[in-house]
Amino acid sequence: MIKPIYIHGSGCISIQPTFEAGYFFDALTSYAQNPVPALDPDYKAFIPALQLRRMNKSMRMALFASRLAMQEAGITSIDAVITGSGLGCLRDSERFVEHLRAEEGSSLNPTPFIQSTHNMAAAALALSLGCKGYNMTYVNNANSFESALLDSLIYLAEHPTETVLLGGVDELGERTPQFWDIAGYLKHEGAEIPTPLDDRTPGEIAAEGAIFFIASQQQSYQTLGKVLAVETRLEVDNPPAFIAEFLQRNGVSTDALDAVMLGCNGDARYDGIYRTLGDTLFADLPQVAFKHTLGEYDTVVAAALFLVLGIFQHQHIPQTLLLNEVSSRTLQRILIYTQRRGQNHSVILVEK
Amino acid sequence: MIPTAPIAITGMGAISAIGNHVTENFRSLVASKHGIGPITQLDTYHRGRLLVGEIPIGNAELYDRLHLSPEVACTRSTLLALLAAKEAMEAAAFQPGDGYRTGLISATTVGGMDATEQYYDDYLISEKHQPFIQTHPCGYAAEQMGRYLGISDFVTTISTACSSAANAIMLGARMIRAGLLDRVLVGGTDCLSRFTINGFNSLMIYTDSHCRPFDENRNGLNLGEAAAYLVLEAAEVAKRRGKSPIAYLTGYGNANDAFHQTASSDNGEGAYLAMRKALETARLNPTDIDYVNAHGTATPNNDLAEGNALLRIYGSASALPTFSSTKAFTGHTLAAAGAIEAVFSLLALQHQVVFPNLNFSQPIASLGIIPQTELREKKIAHVLSNSFGFGGNCSTLLFSKDHD
Amino acid sequence: MSELTQELKAKIITQLNLEDLTVDDLDDHTPLFGDGLGLDSIDALELIVMLDKSYGIKLSDPKEGRKVFETVQTMADFIEANRK
């Protein structure tokens, strides 16, 4: 009953200049810090000042990336907004906590509270684009974007003539990264972008970004690719079996894949999962990484889809992203597999 | 297109300020016994000042009731959710791993904020509460629930402000209809927190007294805390295992008001669209609805917008079906509201009774609509339940005694 | 009085993140809401916080704000009349 959905446009804000026309990872911006904030485009190009003044980073990144996606798809309106965000508008949440801890009982500024709610990016999109249709926000940790993608597949099966704006967004906070550090999530030694994927040091590089897509069930001359299926699983005992079963359910063998995108982020504690897959199930495929250039956040997997669409378009995998020496004649069908800290596993099957 | 297979509801569970389980909630509703009172659990400036719908059980006792080790970091929203979810699963009488693909879709807006706001500085200097750091993200509770309850085929969390749980219930039905799941535990949870109490207070929509939904002189809401979950099943799965449904989820609608970050449009566009869509998916006419469980938060803006949306659907005040808001019983329970009110809607269907809208005395002058203020027995075949939130997120669910 | 209106303009710009505006762009009699500056109900709440924090004046009903915040001039008049 679920049918493939076609992607007609995409937009990405990240710690690389992905929002610049023509940029495709041939040159990378390097960082030696953790966390790494996203690069800011000229938000005023798309967002009126009166709106912009009350938009936190999540909202402005989401709106800008959405405008890029709509521009590429050549459309000016959409029927539904479906988003994912692991942590929502983190900085405003922190700000309101800080205000109330310091001055509970006195007048508190309401704006950080309003803008702390997780649905604010999707709401800003609806408001700014005048979209009164279906509007959803998933907050499913590192599988938030995948939930939004799955909902888009269902929604378009229910409403085959409509167009969906779909995406993921996450921002950094100021205090929260300190908490992550205490919890042992962050990388210290070797905290660099591009991150060495040599299984040597633990931890991830925290980053932020927004990636949005225009999707429908209609193919057009503007189509960048299509998503056939997505699956998530909180815990997986045997990742190769999980992936093999997913492929089987979708009638695709590993031979029929032209490349695989893997979520290695340089965290020595969990990258072994990808190593095992690279040595077994995917040994004969070009293996592509992305988190070592974009950092880690809950919805960064949306950037993998952005990259896959770029690879289809360019028919070329940037050298900066390749993990092995295997080459492929054509680039028509790519599988994305990621997990974070050993959980929130997901697979996404994409075709040109 | 997706076939519109009937969605059976085979279990429900609820904990709120008016009861620790479904039956207790029902008893309070029929006795017009509200649960709004002073703050006793939460450590806040507003203790002794603002009124809330609090569940009078401390976290330590909740741990005990769930047989959780004190070593496990579990925030209050999760504790409440586990109690309600267990009740729903027991009522539906199924064991995860029985061969049916079973999912969990939860909703929350508070997430682990009650821990974060408390230990914000403490985390940096002491190890004591650091295990709670991981509980902050809204997605954490559902993952913990999935592990505790043994549900792993699909787990996700929705956060669309005060319409969150309605959207979780809606997604569950859509996933069953799309053939992705056979059965799904759906609902929402939010505990009280300083964050939300201060937040609504800063918006000047927190009443200094008891909330008065749909009253001309309403001046804001009381917050409450609750968790409620339903078990949705493909009707044929319920039939196969000999489980007779409580009722059916026949309609759902989700729309966005696209008007303002917080305020609803005066004509209630989003609310109107959500109700319209719910009626359309159920293939019912407005006149088929016997009871509307309104969102009715008692803020000046919500009740005006919702009232106008109802008038747009029905044409005139006299054409409106019986309606009431139950917020004066429980307080506004945010992400749990859509789920606790789904349980109340199902109780209305089960017992053929409409629950009163407490604290009402004078209709809103510009609307002239009058909610049901006394308990009323009546024939009820279809109930509409509204949940609207910040960001224009509006959702409506439609519950029916039978399908088709 | 004009000192107060100048001060208010600066405060409004900061409090409401009107970064593109300068004090000189704001006229004493421009409507702050609706077709004037285009402020909304959230801005009104922010201005209520500002009145409290900067001038010790509390408004308990947001509806009162509508008249008070009509223009910079009406705000200044209100503050002059109510300041402690």
Helix (H, G, I), strand (E, B) or coil at B104: strand
Residues B162, B191, B211, B394: which is the catalytic one?
B162
Whether B175 and B157 have beta carbons less than 8 Å apart is answered as no
Closest-CA distance, C77 to chain A, in angstroms, reads: 22
Q: Do B262 and C41 touch (CB under 8 A)?
A: yes
pLDDT in tens, A262-276: 999 999 999 999 999
The CATH number given to B7-240 is 3.40.47.10
Q: Which residue of A has its CA nearest to B156?
A: A140
d(CA B32, CA A351): 58
Give domain status of residue A222, yes or no: no
pLDDT in tens, A152-190: 999 999 999 999 999 999 999 999 999 999 999 999 998
d(CA B285, CA B305): 21
State the burial class of residue B283 (Cβ atoms within 10 Å of its Cβ: 0-12, 13-18, 19+).
Answer: exposed
Residue B394 among the catalytic residues: no
- The last residue of one of the domains, among A183, A216, A249, is A216
Interface partners of C (3+ CB pairs, < 8 Å)? A, B
d(CA B151, CA B97): 8
Residues 30-69 on C with a CB inside 8 Å of B are: 40-42, 45, 48-49, 60-62
Q: Do A97 and B113 touch (CB under 8 A)?
A: yes
Q: Right CATH number for C2-82 from 3.20.20.140, 3.80.10.10, 1.10.357.140, 1.10.1200.10?
A: 1.10.1200.10
Whether B107 and B84 have beta carbons less than 8 Å apart is answered as no
Give domain status of residue A24, yes or no: yes
Average pLDDT score over chain A:
96
Q: Are strands B183-190 and B102-107 parallel, antiparallel or unpaired?
A: parallel
pLDDT in tens, B209-262: 999 999 999 999 999 999 999 999 999 999 999 999 999 999 999 999 999 888
Amino acid B1: pLDDT: 66
Closest-CA distance, A56 to chain C, in angstroms, reads: 11
pTM (two decimals): 0.97
d(CA A101, CA A103): 6
Q: Do C19 and A49 touch (CB under 8 A)?
A: yes
Distances from the Cα of B44 to the Cα of A106, B129, B204, angstroms: 13, 19, 18
Whether A235 and A273 have beta carbons less than 8 Å apart is answered as no
Give domain status of residue A340, yes or no: yes
Residue whose C-alpha is closest to residue A168's, from A216, A227, A208: A208
Q: Please indicate, yes or no, whether residues A233 and A170 belong to a single structural domain of this protein.
A: no
Q: Which amino acid is at A337?
A: Y
pLDDT band, very low/low/confident/very high, at A1 (cuts 50, 70, 90): confident
| pLDDT averages per 10-residue partition of chain B, 404 residues | 87 98 98 98 95 97 96 97 98 94 98 97 96 97 97 97 98 97 98 98 96 97 98 97 97 95 90 98 97 98 97 97 98 98 98 98 97 97 97 97 84
Closest-CA distance, C2 to chain B, in angstroms, reads: 31
pLDDT exceeds cutoff 90 at A329: no
Tell me the ipTM for this assembly. Answer: 0.97
Q: Are strands A135-138 and A80-84 parallel, antiparallel or unpaired?
A: parallel
- The last residue of one of the domains, among A188, A216, A244, is A216
For chain A, what is the radius of gyration of the CA atoms? Answer: 19
Neighbouring C-alpha atoms within 13 Å toward the C-beta of B203: 27
Among the listed ranges A8-12, A168-172, A296-300, C34-38, which one has the minimum average pLDDT value?
A: C34-38
Question: Residue B53 belongs to what H/E stretch?
Answer: strand B51-53
Percentage of chain A exceeding pLDDT 70: 100
pLDDT in tens, C39-60: 888 999 999 999 999 999 998 8
Burial B45-71 (b: 16+ CB within 10 A, else e): bbeeebbbbbbebeeeebeeebebeee
Longest CA pairwise span in chain A (Å)? 66
Q: Please indicate, yes or no, whether residues A10 and A157 belong to a single structural domain of this protein.
A: yes
Residue B332 among the catalytic residues: yes
Residue whose C-alpha is closest to residue B3's, from A89, A42, A2, A65: A2
d(CA C26, CA C8): 10
Q: Which residue of B has its CA nearest to C43?
A: B203
Alpha helix positions (H), B13-163 = 22-30, 59-65, 76-92, 113-119, 122-125, 139-149
Q: Please indicate, yes or no, whether residues A146 and A259 belong to a single structural domain of this protein.
A: no
Residue whose C-alpha is closest to residue A152's, from A70, A88, A216: A216
Give domain status of residue A221, yes or no: no
Residue B129 among the catalytic residues: no
CB-CB: which of A108, A129, A140 is closest to B198?
A108
B391–chain C Cβ distance below 8 A for any pair = no
pLDDT in tens, A2-26: 999 999 999 999 999 999 999 999 9
Amino acid C84: pLDDT: 67
CB-CB: which of A124, A127, A138 is closest to B156?
A138
Closest-CA distance, B49 to chain C, in angstroms, reads: 15
B189–chain A Cβ distance below 8 A for any pair = no
The CATH number given to B250-400 is 3.40.47.10
Whether B167 and A147 have beta carbons less than 8 Å apart is answered as no
Q: Please indicate, yes or no, whether residues A211 and A236 belong to a single structural domain of this protein.
A: no
Say which CATH number the domain at A60 has. 3.40.47.10
Amino acid A301: pLDDT: 98
Whether B155 and B146 have beta carbons less than 8 Å apart is answered as yes
Q: Please indicate, yes or no, whether residues A188 and A239 belong to a single structural domain of this protein.
A: no
